Amino acid sequence: MNMNTRNKDKAVVIFSGGQDSTTCLLWALDRYKEVEAVSFDYGQRHKKELECAKEITDKLNVKWHVLDMSLLNQLAPNSLTRSDIDVDETAPTDAPPNSVVDGRNMLFITFAAVYAKQKGITDLITGVSQSDFSGYPDCRDVFIKSLNATLNLAMDYTFCIETPLMWIDKAQTWKLADDLGGLDLVKDMTLTCYNGIKGDGCGNCPSCKLRRAGYDEFVARYKTN
């Protein structure tokens, strides 16, 4: 059997149930015949994240898999996974927030790649963005290209990591969801709030403020004459 048999009809989306990965899921559904979503359970402080992921994939009729990544919590205890550490709302915006788990995207993409290869799928979709990279080094384009090459070598397979949001800002991400017919779905069903409140969120955490600013900019730029 040719191990490099490519199936460009199928894709695996790395899916958290947040705004970015939900927009990527809509993007993939627009381009591929068959799309699967993979989420990771790493002891998130808010189990709600996985509940949202389930609701969204149910609504979009997408096959959904949850992979256990509880090891991540053991390796890098931080404010997103440990309820005894508060999210720092006053941290300078040019530094990585204390919610960062070192290497998280690398691990997620790598595990998704192992899963995809088992299914004969080459295309992996991730919502990382260099425009909004806010200090996460494994969201940068150079890293994604490097990991793509590494995964190909590691598994003797031709993966294609697609990053639809790499060069666009938050307003353009809302625009993309709108263009794909999913504005209300992204607005109402996704979770980005650090306090676990779906949709518009708590309004006060850094994640809600960023989301709100992006949405307001989207409306100002694209929705007003």
Least spacing, CB of residue 192 vs Zn ion, in Å: 8
Residue 127 binding Zn ion, by CB under 5 A: no
The size of the chain, in residues, is: 225
Instruction: Report d(CA 30, CA 214) in Å as an integer.
Output: 23
Size of the site for Zn ion (CB under 5 A): 6
Q: How far is the CB of 205 from Zn ion (least distance, A)?
A: 3
Within positions 16 to 55, which residues make up the interface with Zn ion, using CB under 5 A? none
Q: Which residues contact 125 (CB under 8 A, 6 or more apart)?
A: 11, 12, 13, 14, 24, 25, 27, 28, 161, 162, 163, 164
Q: Where are the alpha helices (DSSP H) in 119-202?
A: 141-155, 170-179, 183-189
Min separation Cβ 59 and Zn ion, Å = 23
Take residue 160 and report the two structure tokens written for it. Answer: 């294609």
Q: Which is nearer to Zn ion, 31 or 48 (CB)?
A: 48
> Which CB atom, from 127 or from 206, has the smaller least distance to Zn ion?
206
Q: Footprint of Zn ion on residues 174-213 (CB under 5 A)?
A: 193, 195, 201-202, 205, 208
Residue nearer to Zn ion on the CB measure, 121 or 193 = 193
With respect to Zn ion, which residue has the nearer C-beta, 168 or 197?
197
d(C-alpha 154, C-alpha 167), whole Å: 27
Minimal distance, residue 189 CB to Zn ion, in Å: 16
Distance CA 206, CA 195 (A): 10
Helices vs. strands in the chain: H and E counts, helices first: 8, 5
Helix extents (H) in 69-169: 71-75, 104-118, 141-155
Name the minimum Å distance from CB 87 to Zn ion.
Answer: 9
Residue 79 beta carbon to Zn ion: minimum distance, rounded to whole angstroms: 13
Comparison of 166 and 208: residue with beta carbon closer to Zn ion: 208
State which residue, 120 or 203, has the beta carbon closest to Zn ion: 203
Cα separation, 208 vs 24, whole angstroms: 19
Indicate whether 114 belongs to the interface with Zn ion (CB under 5 A): no
Measured distance CA(193)–CA(202) in Å, rounded: 7
Per CB under 5 A, contacts with Zn ion among 153-172 are none
- Which residues are at the interface with Zn ion (CB under 5 A)? 193, 195, 201-202, 205, 208
